[in-house]
């Protein structure tokens, strides 16, 4: 079984997120989504979410491509997650290209998928203002 992992905030879930999750799942058999907690988003990214962690988790768990949702509490957990969950492939959007290449040292493939260009949570928030 090939295990895939991806990380994100997934606030204001939209079809760009679904595209990313669909393409990530296509790379293997089991997709783990590591969802940024509210505390991590605020303390590390200065990002306030519209939906709470629990609400975002519930939305992700309802998506057929997602097999497991776990919390992201700090930047450093990525290395340990690779081993704890026996990950084969780490996936992120290509706006992070090169930032997680160090995970190759943990024995995982690192893949940066193209984002859906015409949609982003940032743009949605901007448009709503």
Q: Would you name the residues annotated as active-site residues?
A: 45, 47
Q: Which residue(s) pair with 127 in the sheet?
A: none
Under 8 Å CB-to-CB from 38, ≥6 apart: which residues?
49, 52, 53
Structure tokens at 117: 């260009």
> Do 5 and 32 touch, CB atoms closer than 8 A?
yes
Among candidates 110, 113, 107, which has minimal Cα distance to 99?
Answer: 110
Among candidates 49, 30, 31, 29, which has minimal Cα distance to 39?
Answer: 49
What is the bridge-based pairing of β-strands 3-8 and 89-93? parallel
Residue in this structure with the two tokens 């995970």, named with its chain if needed:
103
């Amino acid at each position: 079984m090939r295990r895939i992992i991806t990380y994100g905030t997934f606030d204001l879930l939209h079809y760009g997120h679904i595209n990313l999750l669909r393409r990530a799942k296509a790379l293997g058999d089991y997709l783990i989504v590591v969802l940024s907690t509210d505390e991590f988003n605020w303390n590390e990214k200065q990002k306030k979410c519209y939906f709470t962690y629990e609400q975002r988790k519930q939305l992700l768990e309802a998506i057929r491509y997602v097999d497991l949702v776990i919390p992201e509490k700090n930047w450093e957990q990525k290395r340990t997650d690779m081993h704890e969950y026996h990950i084969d492939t780490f996936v992120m959007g290509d706006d992070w290209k090169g930032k997680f290449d160090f995970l190759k040292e943990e024995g995982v493939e690192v893949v940066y998928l193209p984002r859906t260009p015409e949609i982003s949570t940032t743009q949605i928030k901007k448009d709503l203002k």
